[in-house]
A and B are shown apart, each in its own frame.
Chain A
Amino acid sequence: MAPHTSKNVVIIGSGIAGLTTAKLLCENGIKATIVEKSSVLGGHTRKWSCKATSQCQVCNRCSLDDVMAALENYGVQYLTESELGSVVRDSAGYLRGVKISTSGSEVAEEIPSDALALCVGFETYDPSEKLLWGYGALDGVMTLADLDFVLDQQRLNDLGNGSEQTKIAFFQCVGSRDKSVGANYCSQYCCKAALRSAVKLKSEKPQWSVAIFYIDLQVSGKYASSLLGRATESGIELAQGVPGEIFLDENKKLAVNIEKNGTNAREQFDKIILSVGQRPSASTAILSQITGVGLNEHGFFESRTIFDPNRTCAQGVYLAGACGAPMDIETTILNASAAASDIISDLSGIHKGA
């Protein structure tokens, strides 16, 4: 819709970060090429479910549909099943293009590019790494992503045991804030996701009992009070301390040991949902080599300075979303918009930049 310049920006990754970056660039008259390694667009967000009861819980899942609808107005080029092969720089070192390799084709295609945005997102922690969680071994232990699939498929009854007394627990910080699994950071999205999912479960199945075991609830900010309020109103049990082990008791039911008032108590659950943390995407290492963007101690891309979170040390290369630090959808949209903003400033040359 907006008049196009000759500028083109190549975006690696078609999750909410990549699409948001593309949207704001296009609205500002800059062309975008989106490179996606899988065959479908939308990244993690596409697989998540809407958490609204009839009241929106601001999970931002629908942002994906909105941004994709907005992009239909622009001639964005999508290259699926494709990956970044190399970057092309001129003699002065400025980014001039990228080479993209598409599966099934032997020759890498060169695309002129004035900026490159890395939007490769994250991977969820694989909880089967830690045997005590029982993921993959015990029936009924699932992840937040598995729960989203059930919610999306409208198959909530699958979670119940057929009776009214279904008990469901969320375990927070699975693979986050845990040095022993190499992730000494908070994954930022899981407390809100678990709380919203729990509220959704309680609204659909008020007679079920839902508990959230946590270390610290990371829900500060403008929506914190209302979210915590809804959780307590709907009767969700919030319990500090995450049990370390899930096992089958003598009745073949999922059980955990919980310390209550200094004594151990055993509690049974029908389903236990592990709130798995965010890990750097597997492609960050190779992309780091190709682009020259460094990785920080946690394996996420390193920004130029802490005050410049979307620019990198490599000229013309930008970061957006969870490949720079773990974040939820809302923060990703903000972060990716800021990345697009930096690119616009730098390409228009008004603002000094990379």
Chain B
Amino acid sequence: MESSSNLTQLTSFLEKIPSALVLGKGLTASIAVIELKGKGFEVIQLEFGQAPGDELYCCLPGFDFEEYKLSVMQSVGQSEVYHSESIPMIDRDGAGFKVDIASIRDRRFDVLFFAGGLANRPCSNLDLAPLELFGPETKYSGESEDVALLMDYPEPSDSAAAMSAIVYALENAKNGGRSAVILDNVPVRHLQGESLYDSAKSAGVKFYRLGQSNPKIQDSFPSEGGNRKIWITLQDRIEQGSDIQIVCDRLFLVTGPDQKGIPYQINHFLGADLDPSGFLISESIHSNTFKSFSAGVYAIGNFTGNSDLFQIMSQAKAAAASARAYALFTNTKSRENILSISEECVRCLTCYRICPHMAIWPSVSPSRSQLNSIGTACFECGICVSECPRTAIDLTHFPQMAFSSFIEDVKNQPDRIVVYGCSRSAGRAASHISLPPDVVFFSVPCAGRVSESVILETLSIGVKGLLVIGCHHGNCASNNGTDWACDRVETVVTNFLLPMDMQGKLQYKTMAPNEILKMEKIIRQFVNELETDPQTSKYSSS
């Protein structure tokens, strides 16, 4: 323990005590509360809806969940908890948040944590009565039984759930029961995973790997008073040949969290922060795990597609530390003038809808509503600037003027090839390469800042070619800036260049910050194509 003089040293740097709202119930929410309190946050928990608690698994043999839960509940101690039928309206209040619930309507929170639970997904392919979902509460009774555990069917199971299921199979086998595990791949995603698998095998647990054909499952009640049996017929991928038949008393299905249970209000609130499978982005790219693109919003647990207790503990710790940094940042920095919104604004709300960081928020008033920028949440990507129909928005550090003067500059140099590159990827790599003589590189905050009008204006001054480089799709630090840029380039090519047979003049490419040689290659190829393209060379020389 540190000496008492150091106790408050760190927290005293926060001008006021930071506050957090944890949305969700169950173990995940409790772990989040503990971690946030440990970082000096004042925490309020809001349980919502009728949704089930969370489904968390610990994959190690001998783990006592009840004991662990008890210890968590003790650590949480006294805590302020509210309930709500559904997820309430959430509003930005500067860099923080407010929620529309009577008892806490006047409170302001620095950060939001989505720490809700999801039920396990049911199996879509099997509509069978004998099937039980294997949950964290599924406890081995101690009686030996004939049990089968079906996993990775039809899609991969959560690895922690799958390993817990193997622990179940092992315990049953040790007690003289017969255990069959039917799977696609044996889960060993833990340092102890291999030894668990080894001991299961030596205890007599049978592992079957699913072949191409689906397993057939039949529920049978023998006519003469015997026990109900479940028959499974399958083909083992390794021991190819005749069908294998497994007869058991119980059949468990092991799946993973069901993303369909994520309330639509959360999806709406987080905008497009969903991964391809529909979970909240939190094990995300850009060294920002657990953080959503919306500044101050965090997600952990089942909502992020995770069921592993150990990983969720790490998520909660990491997110709490990141939240503390955000609170520290927003409470000590003034970034009021990062983004300006002029009188030209007609409050069409385009910027509010498309901002990936929730950094533009409307304030509604009877006299005159207005849109406000939240400097500490703003990433200065400029997507809003590019899409504003009234050109009412501008970035302070990368103003519209920067583009205009660059374009003005290039205008005076004949036959230039212009490259607009995202500062995160191409911008960083550009300093490491030497550009061909005709090429002028211009670093932009995000490819999403290259608006259609910038593209058209650049083309109109008679450049030989224009190349826009963004980060790879799905890797944009502002979520969809790269998609915006790609779409705009396509639009300009289709609507303006193609009719004039000059489509070769404009291209969009993607790269990562470390792909220095790839950037060289992209530019070289573009230059070569322009030189060999009869249409372009005709155009530029005329």
A interface, CB within 8 angstroms of B: 1-3, 5-7, 20, 23-24, 27-30, 46, 49-50, 52-56, 58, 60-67, 69-70, 152-154, 177, 184-186, 188, 215-226, 228, 240-241, 261-262, 296, 298, 300, 306-307, 309-310, 325-326, 330-331, 333-335, 337-338, 340-342, 344-353
**Chain B 317-350 interface residues, beta-carbon cutoff 8 Å to A:** 317-318, 320-322, 324-325, 328-329, 332-333
A222 touches B283 (CB 8 A): yes
Cα distance, A48 to B475, chains bound together (Å): 17
**Contact: B332 with A338, CB < 8 Å?**
no
* Pair A300/B1 contact, Cβ less than 8 Å: no
A64 touches B324 (CB 8 A): no
Is A28's CB under 8 angstroms from B240's CB?
A: no
B515 within 8 A of partner (CB)? yes
Name B399-429 residues within 8 Å CB distance of A.
424-425, 428
Most chain B CB atoms below 10 A, which of A54, A62, A185, A300: A62
- For residue A262, which residues in chain B have a CB less than 8 angstroms away from its CB? 240-241
Would you call B287 and A70 a contact (CB within 8 A)? yes
Tell me the bound Cα distance from A240 to B319 in angstroms: 38
Query: Which partner residue on chain B sits nearest A155 by CB separation?
Result: B517
CA distance A152 to B369 in the complex (A): 52
- The majority secondary structure among interface residues of chain A is loop
Closest chain B CB from A279 CB (angstroms)? 13
Q: Which residues of B contact A (CB under 8 A)?
A: 1-2, 6-11, 13, 35, 37-40, 60, 68, 155-159, 162, 184-195, 198, 209, 237-238, 240-241, 256, 275-277, 279, 283, 285-290, 304-306, 310-311, 313-315, 317-318, 320-322, 324-325, 328-329, 332-333, 424-425, 428, 471-475, 477, 510-515, 517-518, 521
Nearest 10 CB-CB pairs, A to B?
Answer: A222-B305, A337-B318, A56-B475, A27-B325, A351-B38, A341-B321, A56-B474, A50-B512, A341-B317, A348-B10
Complex contact B279–A188 (CB within 8 A): no
Given contacts A220-B158, A348-B40, A349-B7, contact A177 B194 (CB under 8 A): yes
CB distance from B201 to the nearest CB of A (A): 13
CB atoms of B315 and A334 under 8 A apart: yes
Q: 20 A–B contact pairs at CB < 8 A?
A: A1-B333, A29-B10, A49-B515, A54-B510, A62-B285, A186-B188, A216-B187, A222-B275, A225-B277, A325-B190, A330-B289, A337-B322, A338-B313, A341-B317, A344-B10, A347-B6, A348-B8, A348-B39, A349-B6, A351-B39
With a cutoff of 8 Å between Cβ atoms, the chain A residues found around residue B1 in the complex are 349, 352-353
Asked if A240 and B209 make an inter-chain contact with CB atoms under 8 angstroms apart, the answer reads yes
Cα A330 to Cα B473 with chains together (Å):
18
Interface of B is mostly: loop
> A334 to B311, Cβ gap below 8 A?
yes
User: Within the complex, what minimum Cβ distance (angstroms) separates B282 from chain A?
Assistant: 9
Which of A1, A228, A241, A348 makes the CB contact (< 8 A) with B238?
A241
Given A54-B473, A63-B285, CB of A222 within 8 Å of CB of B279: yes
B156: chain A residues within 8 A (beta carbon): 219-221, 224-225, 228
Cross-chain contact A3 with B191 (CB below 8 angstroms): no
Residue of B nearest to A336 (CB): B318
Contacts of A333 in B (CB 8 A): 287, 289
Q: Are B324 and A344 in contact (CB under 8 A)?
A: yes
Is the CB–CB distance between A337 and B187 below 8 Å?
no
**How far apart are the CA atoms of A307 and B311 in the complex, in Å?**
10
Q: Beyond A20-B287, A63-B287, A184-B195, is A347–B11 a contact (Cβ under 8 Å)?
A: no
Closest Cβ–Cβ distance, residue B212 to chain A (whole Å): 12
* Cα-based distance from A217 to B333 in the complex (angstroms): 47
Residue on B nearest A346 in the bound complex, by CB: B2
Complex Cα spacing A124 to B512, Å: 25
Q: A306 contacts B60, CB within 8 Å?
A: yes
Q: How far is the CA of A297 from the CA of B474 in the complex (A)?
A: 40
B191, closest chain A residue (CB): A325
Which A residues lie within 8 Å of B194 (CB)?
Answer: 177, 184-186
Q: What is the chain A residue whose CB lies nearest that of B257?
A: A222
Q: A216-B186, A218-B187 are in contact. Are A52 and B475 (CB under 8 A)?
A: yes
Chain A residues contacting B310 (CB-CB under 8 Å) are 306-307, 309
